[in-house]
Amino acid sequence: MEFPEEVLAHIFSYLSVTERDSASAVCKRWSQSMSHPRVWRYTEIRCETGEQEDPALQHFSSLLPLVRHLKITVSSLSDPANRSAALSVLRLATSGPLQTLSLSCSGGVPLFYSGHDLEEGLEAALTTAPEHVGGAFLSHLDLRGVPFTLSQSLVRVLARQSPNLRSLLVNNQTLVCKVEPEAVVEVLGLCPLLNTLGLFYTSLSQKVVDELLLPQRCPLLAMELYCERFAKYIPPLEDNVWAGLKHRHPGLKVSLILDHTLPMDHFSSVLQPSVPLQHLELLTFTDLVQQTHLVTQSYSHALETIILQTTSSPELDSALRSLAAACSRLREVHCYCVVSCDVVRAFKDCCPHLWRYTLKTRKEPHPWKCTVIK
């Protein structure tokens, strides 16, 4: 009971909202400490009770404007009460100077659910808070975890209401992308401080690149790209374009996810040698021997994480051993097919920074667990 209030607040910050509600009932001092701003600075809220008015959220509704970094997870989207609770949290949190917002969903998605209510609620939350001008303080927005197609109008509104954005992640791996390159150009113009961008590959164009190459832009640090079947209908970014981006933004690191819906003959057009590739996922469930050799030849100097969903073969084992020998900066490798013991040994011997891997020498029940090197 002699702990300073700041220490209590730091401890309480690790509790969920429900646990904070229980702890506040222990004694008067704990209840008073629960209103300390440090308790709420980083807060994760799970909307999963099926109640539109969750008792814990009701209890702390006046404190949600203290949140600076918020993660909302909506469980079971089929329950309107969970979605409504998430929107209530959004309205309350954005009435304060919220800096970071992450919105994700877990569980099944209802058939034909378009996410309009969540989109409209997010837009309203950022535009109807007069005191703090909605998202004026927002610097990081992560929508990768929402399972519905994001509208282009929403992305434009987010940029208009949040001109201080430094990271915008809308690469949420849905079947369709509605965010066209013109919208990305507008976002880049409205948000001059953006240094981290997550997009569908189809949202890129030469005009987007030209905007990124402007001398007045702040350095671009990270770009995440999701490539799916519609990427085959657009002109790929040529190697000289990536070379220009890398020259203009020398600290740029790129993450690429190539989905199984993208035809294999388009992989090489996406995997240009000058891409400053740090993270790569090839999710094809087919033979990837040729692509593995291509990765070894082009990205050995920068690649830190690789994830392969492929099929076993002696040729793949040989390609993986070559990859291990060339890519000394690898920190993670996850290959979701059976490999030989020599492959495991090669990565452990040749990659001094390796700390986590999924390399199985025999079939195991799914999901496969990764090995962490201590």
pLDDT digits (tens, 9 = 90+) for 65-105: 999 999 999 988 888 888 888 998 998 888 888 999 999 99
Q: Is 222 helix (H, G, I), strand (E, B) or coil?
A: strand
For residues 36 and 374, give the distance between their C-alpha atoms in angstroms, rounded to a whole number.
37
Name the fold adopted by 1-39.
Monooxygenase (1.20.1280)
Q: What is the pTM of this model?
A: 0.90
Place of tokens 């993270």: 279
User: At a CB cut-off of 8 Å and minimum separation 6, what does 18 contact?
Assistant: 56
Kindly calculate the radius of gyration of the chain based on its CA atoms and give it in whole angstroms: 23
HSE toward the beta carbon, residue 341, CA cutoff 13 A:
0
Do residues 229 and 270 make contact, with C-beta atoms less than 8 angstroms apart?
A: no
Do residues 371 and 357 make contact, with C-beta atoms less than 8 angstroms apart?
A: yes
Name the packing angle between helices 341-350 and 314-326 (round to 10°): 10
134: left (phi over 0), alpha (psi -120 to 50) or beta: left
Q: Which helix (H) or strand (E) holds 161?
A: helix 152-161
For residues 319 and 307, give the distance between their C-alpha atoms in angstroms, rounded to a whole number.
14
The model's pLDDT over 234-288, given as tens digits with 9 standing for 90+, comes to: 999 999 999 999 999 999 999 999 999 999 999 999 999 999 999 999 999 899 9
pLDDT for res 353: 95
Q: What share of the chain in percent tops pLDDT 70?
A: 97
Mean pLDDT (the chain, rounded): 91
Domain boundaries, the chain: 1-39
Do residues 126 and 162 make contact, with C-beta atoms less than 8 angstroms apart?
A: yes
For residues 373 and 347, give the distance between their C-alpha atoms in angstroms, rounded to a whole number.
12
